[in-house]
Chains A and B, each alone.
Chain A
């Protein structure tokens, strides 16, 4: 996996902006990598649990799914065009990003999450 999950969880729980921008969120953000799935469980804005588990898409508020190549490109600190964020990666490079109301509403959180994931990369890790 492209990120150190333990490090990402710690960053997410300590980060002012991520905590603010996930306020009132209840439900799952699912991150699908080629070899594993990660579920971020929120309860009224609090990141209650992070687990490696695969939930059906319809059980999740927000779903992000990518190939190894897509995650690798997205999680570069200075990504190539147009991997600058989840939305541009979705539209221009085919990364799957759900289009639920929550996906749009929590875009500020998803942008911040992407930054935290970039900061939580295991050095040299492939997606």
Chain B
């Protein structure tokens, strides 16, 4: 008996700011569309456990993409990308979700992302509440921890985009984000994924993660959760966006919901999916119930 995961992978062509990208995505399930965004410097493989979770996929069409320059989404063909420094921006992060959603014909999908994807969940809820029925910010905050922000892009590139340093070290550096309670095989998988990234891509992603994502308290307080519900999940062992950092955001966003995930770190979806889903499933159930109620009213 041959064993397969219930995951289908495809390539789609998306044009963003006049540039055509060949984007890889995987999907499983049916129902409410759920876009899932990976962390900086990694790719959609982080969601392989979620994509195989029947409790999720029986009611949700889960779509895990590789952002351009990540995973199996190669740099755009026909663009001399090697002549410029790669930096991920807030505008691109948001535009990508809108263009992908439109191309796949998704009806107000749920967006869930982790780390820079978690920051994006806040940016989307703030800027595009009519396009998403809910967003789930995993390891998100108004801004990343000051100790890291203060390093500056030059310091970030010296550590993560340094010809003297093997890419294996980027994987090793992720240990700082990981809970000591995570199964070692999962820790090694996260490190493996981080060791596979393109040159300078992780460092460039951090431009969005540390600098271009910067939500003011005023902006956060204006997020309308009646249009786009915003959920926050943050691991106890995440030093980049600690539970205390996330709580500041959650307190400002009226109607949002926040949970600290005990014994999990910055990569909960991969670190220990069995534990993560205990927090995720009730959220998805609430989203489903809310969606059904709105459908009946309409």
> Does B associate with A?
yes
**Most central of B159, B164, B176 by chain A CB within 10 Å:** B176
Encoded as 1 (CB less than 8 Å from any A CB) or 0, chain B from 236 to 249 comes to 11010010000000
User: Among A84, A99, A104, A105, which residue has its beta carbon within 8 angstroms of that of B175?
Assistant: A84
**Most central of B159, B172, B236 by chain A CB within 10 Å:** B172
A104 near B165: Cβ-Cβ < 8 Å: yes
A91 near B181: Cβ-Cβ < 8 Å: no
* Distance between B174 CB and nearest chain A CB, rounded to angstroms: 9
B265 near A84: Cβ-Cβ < 8 Å: yes
User: A34 in the interface, Cβ–Cβ < 8 Å?
Assistant: no
Interface size on B, residues (CB 8 A): 25
Measured between alpha carbons, how far is A77 from B179 in the docked complex, in Å? 11
In chain A, what residue has the closest Cβ to B177? Answer: A88
Residues of A within 8 A of B177 (CB): 88
A87 near B175: Cβ-Cβ < 8 Å: yes
A82 near B175: Cβ-Cβ < 8 Å: no
User: B6 in the interface, Cβ–Cβ < 8 Å?
Assistant: no
In chain A, what residue has the closest Cβ to B148? Answer: A91
A84 near B180: Cβ-Cβ < 8 Å: yes
Measured between alpha carbons, how far is A101 from B158 in the docked complex, in Å? 8
User: B226 in the interface, Cβ–Cβ < 8 Å?
Assistant: no
Measured between alpha carbons, how far is A71 from B208 in the docked complex, in Å? 34
User: B16 in the interface, Cβ–Cβ < 8 Å?
Assistant: no
User: A111 in the interface, Cβ–Cβ < 8 Å?
Assistant: yes
Residues of A within 8 A of B159 (CB): 99, 104
Encoded as 1 (CB less than 8 Å from any A CB) or 0, chain B from 139 to 172 comes to 0000000011000000000110010111011011
Measured between alpha carbons, how far is A87 from B158 in the docked complex, in Å? 15
In chain B, what residue has the closest Cβ to A91? Answer: B147
Taking CB atoms and an 8 Å cut-off, the chain B residues in 202-250 that contact chain A are 236-237, 239, 242
In chain A, what residue has the closest Cβ to B265? Answer: A84
User: Among B147, B164, B239, which residue has its beta carbon within 8 angstroms of that of A105?
Assistant: B164
In chain B, what residue has the closest Cβ to A109? Answer: B172
* Distance between B161 CB and nearest chain A CB, rounded to angstroms: 11
A77 near B180: Cβ-Cβ < 8 Å: yes
Knowing A79-B180, A88-B176, A92-B239 are in contact, say whether A104-B147 is a contact too (CB < 8 A): no
* Distance between B123 CB and nearest chain A CB, rounded to angstroms: 25
User: A48 in the interface, Cβ–Cβ < 8 Å?
Assistant: no
B162 near A104: Cβ-Cβ < 8 Å: yes
User: A85 in the interface, Cβ–Cβ < 8 Å?
Assistant: yes
Residues of A within 8 A of B178 (CB): 84
User: B173 in the interface, Cβ–Cβ < 8 Å?
Assistant: yes
B239 near A101: Cβ-Cβ < 8 Å: no
Taking CB atoms and an 8 Å cut-off, the chain B residues in 56-113 that contact chain A are none
In chain A, what residue has the closest Cβ to B173? Answer: A107
Taking CB atoms and an 8 Å cut-off, the chain A residues in 101-120 that contact chain B are 101, 104-108, 110-111
A105 near B180: Cβ-Cβ < 8 Å: no
* Distance between A25 CB and nearest chain B CB, rounded to angstroms: 12
* Distance between A110 CB and nearest chain B CB, rounded to angstroms: 8
* Apart from the given pairs A84-B179, A88-B177, A107-B175, 19 other A-B contacts in the complex at a CB distance below 8 Å: A77-B180, A78-B181, A81-B239, A84-B178, A88-B176, A88-B239, A91-B147, A91-B176, A92-B147, A92-B239, A99-B159, A101-B164, A104-B169, A105-B169, A106-B169, A108-B168, A110-B172, A111-B172, A111-B175
Chain B positions near chain A (C-beta within 8 angstroms): 147-148, 158-159, 162, 164-166, 168-169, 171-173, 175-181, 236-237, 239, 242, 265
Identify 17 residue pairs between A and B in the complex whose beta-carbon atoms are under 8 Å apart, listed by A's number.
A79-B180, A81-B237, A82-B237, A85-B176, A87-B173, A87-B175, A87-B176, A91-B147, A92-B239, A104-B158, A105-B165, A105-B166, A106-B169, A107-B172, A108-B168, A108-B171, A111-B175
Q: Which 9 A-B residue pairings sit nearest by Cβ, starting from the closest?
A: A107-B172, A88-B176, A101-B164, A108-B172, A87-B176, A82-B239, A85-B175, A107-B169, A104-B165
